Amino acid sequence: MIYLDYSANTPADERVLARFCAVERRCPGNANSHHQAGLDAKAEIDHATQTIARLLRVQPAEIIYTSGASESNNFALKGLARLSRHVGKHIISTPLEHSSVSGTLTALQEQGYEIDLVDIKRDGTIDLDHLKELLRPDTIVVAVTMVDSELGVVQPVQEIAEILKEYPHCHLHVDATQAVGKIPVSFEGVDTMSLTAHKFYGLNGIGLLLKRRNLALEPLIHGGESTTIYRSGTPTVALASSLALALELAVEQLPEHAEAVQKANAFLRTELAKYPKVRINSPENAIPHILNLSVQDVKGTVFQRELNEEGVCVSVKSACSSDGLPSRAVFAVSRDRRNALSSWRVSLSHQTTEEDLRGFLAAFDRCYRGLTETK
């Protein structure tokens, strides 16, 4: 099997898995308990929180552990909407968001909130002039992905934050799920930010919501203080510790890993350019980890199935999206619905080998010839 879907899920690093097992064995107590086993567990999770805070340059009190980025996005957007409902019900987002953001916004729209989507330029970045036009005194949230999961475009988060300084009642939520471990990530100027461990070689089931200390969101889970008043329950000590290690490794090794992925991306772009019916949708300014392409007149779902038969794992849109609809992200940059229906994504890793790449290209060539020569 050739795995090229690292943006959907990454294999847990052996060191991270070992950390999880070691802490699970060493800390059987509930971190909320006031006996020695509980104190040991609390010390372990406090150490993990301090490590995460240092790596992300935030305060420990700004860290909320969640089950993953989807929960974090739901928590942030619903919480911010409720917090600011006395100011207004206008929210701005983009057509590039993960379904956990767009789905949450749809739910809020059904509750009477007004949702506007900012225009996307041909390079995949949001149109800042259009954002300024959309902003109103009753705008309470701007929700933007730092790196979108389909094209890999990096959004100008700091520029957006600067614009929002003129709107003190408007909060900025950033989905950094696809950014952590791939590019430097900053919480500066942001009110809430989501991420999850399984995108940077951590374990599934643990994520974070970063929240400014002065934001009093309604608790996601009521019932007690736990590690935070915002999410009650028994802390997942081993998962928190494993996330801290995964994040530490991702940050420390980012330059080396990014260079390896850049070389793999450049190689694929060169080889795929030899096929006349291939269109590369990811702009040149996208992160190298994500390469979105289309094969003319062949639906993305069809090409994906054929590659799967060849033992190659790629994805159509993000793993959490509905099938059968054109990619909103690809349509936004190409303005071509047929092209958006034909799009699919290769996502790369520092673990991707030259053998993987050549095996993919051989399989791609067979599928391309089989699916295009009859058209």
Q: Which residues are catalytic?
A: 320
**Pair of tokens at residue 111:** 């509750």
Q: Kindly state the tokens that stand for 352.
A: 């991707």
| 184-189-193 Cα angle (round to 5) | 65
Within a 10 A sphere around the Cβ of 337, how many other Cβ atoms? 12
Partners of 139 in the β-ladder: 90
Specify the long-range contacts of residues 176-179, CB closer than 8 Å, at least 24 apart: 176/146, 176/147, 177/69, 177/98, 177/145, 177/149, 178/7, 178/145, 178/146, 178/147, 178/148, 178/149, 178/152, 178/287, 178/289, 178/290, 179/146, 179/147, 179/154, 179/287
Which two structure tokens, joined as six digits, stand for 186? 């900053």
Question: Radius of gyration (Cα) for the chain, nearest Å?
Answer: 21
Type of residue found at 299: K
Distance, CA of 269 to CA of 253 (rounded, Å): 24
Q: How many CA atoms lie within 13 A of 195 on its CB side?
A: 28
CA distance 155 to 148: 8
What backbone phi and psi angles, to 5 degrees, belong to 145? -85, 135
